[in-house]
Structure formats: structure tokens, C-alpha cells
């Protein structure tokens, strides 16, 4: 009697082990010999009914009761997927949808085919309509807050939508990156790493890059010249400022290393808020938001989140090169103060330059929890923009001990945000408002600004 269970794609491997023999399998009209070892990149393909989205740029499906995380698909689709990681002992599998049997109405032709199955990371939603990408991210944010933060946005009556940034709809979500990192493959061609791999996929261009980045790449022949294998190539082109090309961390100009004593290693970033321009000098290889509109968008959201802080003491944690520090210094006025803390030495050097002459700003270099432990002074408001791993329990406890009236949390990972929201809840802080921004179209990444009060 035939079984209604899906066929087991790894059955031949189990049989091979149990019988002490190697098994053969027909694939693509030819017979291949299978190893008894579970290959981390097996050639197995399975048919899947795709379920909901999950954090990380994939959807969830099930195969014979096992969870399969599938990329390059959409909820509700039926696909043929190639297993990229898995085996009979694996708790879950990873797979790429390589054939769409029933398509979602939100599917569009990929704007970046090189980021498709087997391709580079960094464009995993390139096959999804832009408005559907934002719904995808909203669903992930709500699910992470509900599961990890024990917060239901509907119960709090927080109607959160992932907001697009100016110009993105007109450009179809392309041409927004002012910074692009590349690496040379074994033949010397510039490209990017394959998803979850050290292998490099050579590229002819990068559609997420701004026109200025593309012009810099063309002028320096980045995609057409032959580099030494493994060379790191950084293209940096701030809006309204001269671009910089770094090769293995060193400035280049006109196709060769720039040996001039005044060779540029930094760039100027400008952010306009309420008619006032804030200017930042930032190391070209240092951290800065990559979306051309992100610095102004996030700073505006942070200033809205802190509210009236005239005369207040504000902690600016994980302050980087001072993106929020100098506008906060304006907001607190002559009677207030801003204490900025950053662990990266290069970023602190940039911040000291950018905050030069602002007596109301204190800059500290060191781990956030250590710096705050050495200075137990209270705070009226705390702003924090931690790395992807989040702030963590120790930092949250240190923040809570300062008893600020509100915490404004800028998050680049919804899971870390949800976890830290739960920690803050344990100290009496509740989610008062939440905004999310599509700072990285065609990827699963986005940022959120949460305001918590007690």
C-alpha cells in the first residue's frame, strides 16, 4: 500500500550506512555515487508548501515533520527547493527555492539575480515587491516582540508600519547604499561572498549602490581590473562629498595606492535637521549608516523620541562617531549635558572631532557597562544604539539603575530588541511608541526606534 508521507531524500544515505555499501541516485539523467557522510551541501531537492516568514530572510516550511527554512520564496508558494544544509540528524534544514511551482502575487522578477539561489548574500528579498518586503519586516518585528518580548502590538494599540525612506519608492528600492564592501575572488575579480560561505561570487556591478558609488567603481575599474586574490575593496561615496576608495584599508587613486601625505582617509557626512546642518568627519573605513537617507531619518526619530530635553542629562550609549550626540547637545541647551559612550577607539576619535567646542558633551571610550559603573550619576533620558547583538541584561540593569524617565532604543535586530524590551519590562519600563524603517531594501534587515517609559 503506497504511503502518503513525503519520500525521504536522505533514505539512500541511511540505506548505504545500514547495508555497509554506497548508494547510487539518479540525478539529471545521470547516476551519481553518494557518500555515506551527510553532505553540508547535498544535491537533494524537495517539494514544499511554504508557510510564514521568519527572522533571517527566509520562510518556514515543513517536510515530513521537520522544519525547513527556505530562502528565495514567499508565504503561500509551492516550490521545489534544494537542501543546502541538512541531513537525517539535523534539527532543521536550510534550503533555496530553485523552482516556483505556484507563485505568490507579491513575487516580482528579481532586481538582483546574482543574489538569488546559490548567489551572494545581501539581496535575499530582491524577488519580493517593495511594499510586500515592508509587510514581511513588520510581521517579523511583531512576531519577535510577541515571542521574545512578551509584547503584543495590537494589545498596546501600536499600529506599526515599516516606513520607506525618501526616494526609495521612486528608485524601486535600488541605488541607496553609499558604502559597498567587496572582495576579490581567486581569479582576481571583485565580488561578494556567497551566502553562508567563504566563496566569492564575481560581480559586474551592485544595483543597491548609489550613482556616486557606481561612478567611483567605473572610474577606478573596480569590476574590470584584476586584483590580488582576497583583496578587500571599500567604496565610500557620501552624498554631497568627495568619494574614497580603500584597498585593504589603504586609500587608492587613479588605479594605484595614493602615496600622497594628504591622501584622504576620511569623508564628510552632512545631516540637515530643522534647517540646521550638522557636519561629521568620519573615517572612510569606519561605521556609518549605509542608506543615503538613514542618518537624518534616524536622528529625527531619536529627537522625536526623547521629547523636550532642555536642561536634561542625556546618556548617548554606543554613540559611534556622534551621529546623535551633536543634535542631542543642541536639544539639551546650555543648561543640559550629553554623556556619550563608545567602545570603538576610531569612532571615539571621530566623535571628539565632531563634538569639538561643545562643552556640554562628555565623551568616554570603553565598554558601556564599565564606563557607567565608574560614573553612577543618574540620567533623565537614555538613548542607545547597540550593535546587532543588542545591549544585553547587564547593560539594561545599569541603565535602569540610573532611573531615566524614558529610554530611546535604536535597534538593528528585532530579536535583540525584543529580548532587551523584556529585560526593561522587568524594571518597570513599558513600550510607549515604536517606529520601524526600511533602511535596507531588498534585504531582510531594517531598523526600529522604540521609546520605553516608566
Q: Tell me, what's the pLDDT at 9? A: 53
User: Is 324:296 a contact under the CB 8 Å cutoff?
Assistant: no
Does a structural domain hold residue 115? no
**Residue 22 confidence (pLDDT) above 60:** no
Separation CA 152–CA 343 (nearest Å): 33
**Residue 154 confidence (pLDDT) above 80:** yes
> Over the stretch 177-224, which tens digit does the pLDDT of each residue have?
999 999 999 999 999 999 999 999 999 999 999 999 999 999 999 999
Does a structural domain hold residue 285? no
Residue 102, class by beta-carbon neighbours within 10 Å (0-12 exposed, 13-18 middle, 19+ buried)?
Answer: exposed
Instruction: Compute the residue count for the chain.
Output: 454
The SS3 assignment for 112 reads coil
User: Is 10:46 a contact under the CB 8 Å cutoff?
Assistant: no
Does a structural domain hold residue 255? yes
CB neighbours of 139 closer than 8 A, spacing ≥ 6? 52, 53
Indicate if 430 and 302 belong to the same structural domain: yes
Separation CA 7–CA 46 (nearest Å): 9
**Residue 26 confidence (pLDDT) above 60:** no
Of the candidates 107, 102, 63, the residue with the CA atom closest to the CA atom of residue 86: 63
Indicate if 318 and 402 belong to the same structural domain: yes
The three three-digit cell numbers of residue 50, written as one number: 511554504
Separation CA 341–CA 214 (nearest Å): 35
Residue 420 phi, psi dihedral angles, 5° rounding: -70, -30
Indicate if 265 and 306 belong to the same structural domain: no
CATH code: domain of residue 153: 3.40.50.150
Indicate if 159 and 252 belong to the same structural domain: no
Separation CA 181–CA 252 (nearest Å): 15
CB neighbours of 332 closer than 8 A, spacing ≥ 6? 309, 310, 311, 312, 313, 314, 338, 360
CATH code: domain of residue 59: 2.40.50.140
**Residue 38 confidence (pLDDT) above 50:** no
Q: Identify any residues that bridge with 271 across adjacent strands, giving them in sequence order.
A: 278
Number of domains in the chain: 3
Range of the domain at 413: 139-168+293-453
Indicate if 311 and 224 belong to the same structural domain: no
Of the candidates 371, 409, 365, the residue with the CA atom closest to the CA atom of residue 391: 409
Q: Using pLDDT thresholds of 50, 70 and 90, give the confidence band for residue 89.
A: confident
The three three-digit cell numbers of residue 46, written as one number: 524537495
Indicate if 334 and 368 belong to the same structural domain: yes
**Would residue 59 show up in a list of annotated catalytic residues for this protein?**
no
First to last CA, the chain: 64
Indicate if 154 and 83 belong to the same structural domain: no
Residue 39 phi, psi dihedral angles, 5° rounding: -70, 130
Does a structural domain hold residue 35? no
The three three-digit cell numbers of residue 183, written as one number: 572582495
Share of the chain above pLDDT 70, in %: 91
The three three-digit cell numbers of residue 345, written as one number: 577607539
Q: Using pLDDT thresholds of 50, 70 and 90, give the confidence band for residue 239.
A: confident
**Residue 426 confidence (pLDDT) above 90:** yes
**Residue 37 confidence (pLDDT) above 60:** no
Q: Is the dihedral of CA 248, 254, 257, 258 positive or negative?
A: negative
Q: Using pLDDT thresholds of 50, 70 and 90, give the confidence band for residue 16.
A: very low
> Over the stretch 258-310, which tens digit does the pLDDT of each residue have?
999 899 999 999 999 988 899 999 999 999 999 999 999 999 999 999 999 99
Indicate if 354 and 391 belong to the same structural domain: yes
Does a structural domain hold residue 38? no
Q: Is the dihedral of CA 79, 83, 88, 91 positive or negative?
A: negative
Does a structural domain hold residue 28? no
Q: Tell me, what's the pLDDT at 305? A: 98
User: Is 373:394 a contact under the CB 8 Å cutoff?
Assistant: no
Indicate if 263 and 298 belong to the same structural domain: no
pTM: 0.89
Query: Which is the catalytic residue, given 412, 416, 421, 450?
Result: 412
Q: Using pLDDT thresholds of 50, 70 and 90, give the confidence band for residue 87.
A: confident
Separation CA 60–CA 417 (nearest Å): 22
Indicate if 253 and 320 belong to the same structural domain: no
Indicate if 409 and 332 belong to the same structural domain: yes
Give kind and range of the element (H or E) at residue 77: none
- Of 90, 107, 124, the position where a domain reaches its end is 107
Separation CA 41–CA 32 (nearest Å): 15
Separation CA 377–CA 359 (nearest Å): 18
Give kind and range of the element (H or E) at residue 332: helix 325-332
User: Is 23:34 a contact under the CB 8 Å cutoff?
Assistant: yes
Q: What separation in angstroms does the CA of 244 have from each of 212, 311, 350, 383? A: 11, 39, 17, 31
> Over the stretch 116-151, which tens digit does the pLDDT of each residue have?
999 999 999 999 999 999 999 999 999 999 999 999
Indicate if 317 and 201 belong to the same structural domain: no
Does a structural domain hold residue 100? yes
Q: Which residues belong to the annotated binding site for S-adenosyl-L-methionine?
A: 289, 318, 342, 385
Q: Which residue has the higher pLDDT, 249 or 12?
A: 249
Secondary-structure breakdown of the chain: helix, strand, coil percentages, each rounded to the nearest 5:
20, 30, 45
Residue with cell 547597540: 386
Does a structural domain hold residue 117? no
Amino acid at each position: 500500500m503506497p504511503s502518503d508521507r513525503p519520500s525521504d531524500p536522505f533514505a539512500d544515505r541511511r540505506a548505504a550506512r545500514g547495508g555497509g555499501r554506497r548508494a547510487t541516485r539518479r540525478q539529471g539523467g545521470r547516476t551519481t555515487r553518494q557518500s555515506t557522510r551527510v553532505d553540508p551541501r547535498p544535491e537533494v531537492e524537495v517539494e514544499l508548501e511554504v508557510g510564514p516568514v521568519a527572522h533571517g530572510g527566509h520562510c518556514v516550511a515543513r517536510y515530513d515533520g521537520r522544519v525547513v527554512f527556505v530562502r528565495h520564496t514567499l508565504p503561500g508558494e509551492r516550490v521545489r527547493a534544494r537542501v543546502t544544509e541538512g541531513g537525517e540528524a539535523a534539527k532543521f534544514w536550510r534550503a533555496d527555492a530553485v523552482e516556483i511551482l505556484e507563485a505568490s502575487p507579491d513575487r516580482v522578477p528579481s532586481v538582483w539575480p546574482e543574489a538569488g539561489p546559490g548567489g551572494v548574500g545581501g539581496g535575499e528579498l530582491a524577488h519580493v515587491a517593495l511594499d510586500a518586503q515592508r509587510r514581511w519586516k513588520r510581521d517579523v518585528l511583531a512576531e519577535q516582540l510577541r515571542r521574545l518580548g512578551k509584547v503584543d502590538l495590537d494589545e498596546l494599540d501600536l499600529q506599526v508600519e515599516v516606513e520607506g525612506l525618501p526616494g526609495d519608492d521612486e528608485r524601486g528600492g535600488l541605488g541607496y547604499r553609499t558604502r559597498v564592501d567587496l572582495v576579490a575572488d581567486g581569479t582576481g575579480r571583485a565580488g561578494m561572498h556567497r551566502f553562508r560561505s567563504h566563496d566569492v561570487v564575481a560581480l559586474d556591478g551592485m544595483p543597491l549602490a548609489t550613482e556616486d558609488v557606481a561612478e567611483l567603481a567605473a572610474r577606478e575599474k573596480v569590476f574590470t581590473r584584476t586584483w590580488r586574490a582576497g583583496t578587500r575593496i571599500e567604496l565610500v561615496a557620501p552624498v554631497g562629498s568627495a568619494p574614497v576608495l580603500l584597498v585593504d584599508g589603504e586609500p587608492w587613486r587613479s588605479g594605484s595606492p595614493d602615496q600622497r601625505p594628504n591622501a584622504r582617509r576620511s569623508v564628510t557626512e552632512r545631516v540637515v535637521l530643522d534647517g540646521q546642518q550638522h557636519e561629521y568627519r568620519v573615517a572612510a573605513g569606519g561605521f556609518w549608516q549605509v542608506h543615503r537617507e538613514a542618518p537624518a531619518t534616524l536622528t529625527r526619530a531619536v529627537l522625536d523620541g526623547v521629547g523636550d530635553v532642555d536642561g536634561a542629562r542625556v546618556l548617548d550609549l554606543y554613540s559611534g562617531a556622534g551621529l546623535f550626540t551633536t543634535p542631542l547637545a543642541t536639544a539639551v541647551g546650555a543648561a543640559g549635558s550629553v554623556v556619550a559612550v563608545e567602545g570603538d577607539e576610531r569612532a571615539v576619535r571621530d566623535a571628539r572631532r565632531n563634538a569639538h567646542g561643545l562643552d556640554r558633551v562628555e565623551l568616554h571610550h570603553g565598554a558601556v557597562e564599565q564606563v557607567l559603573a565608574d560614573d553612577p550619576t543618574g540620567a533623565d533620558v537614555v538613548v542607545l544604539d547597540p550593535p546587532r547583538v543588542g545591549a544585553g541584561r547587564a547593560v539594561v540593569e545599569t541603565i535602569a539603575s540610573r532611573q531615566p524617565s524614558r529610554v530611546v532604543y535604536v535597534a538593528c535586530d528585532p530579536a535583540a530588541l525584543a529580548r532587551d524590551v523584556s529585560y526593561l519590562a522587568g524594571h518597570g519600563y513599558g513600550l510607549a511608541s515604536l517606529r520601524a524603517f526600511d533602511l535596507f531594501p531588498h534585504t531582510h534587515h531594517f531598523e526600529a526606534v522604540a521609546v520605553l517609559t516608566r
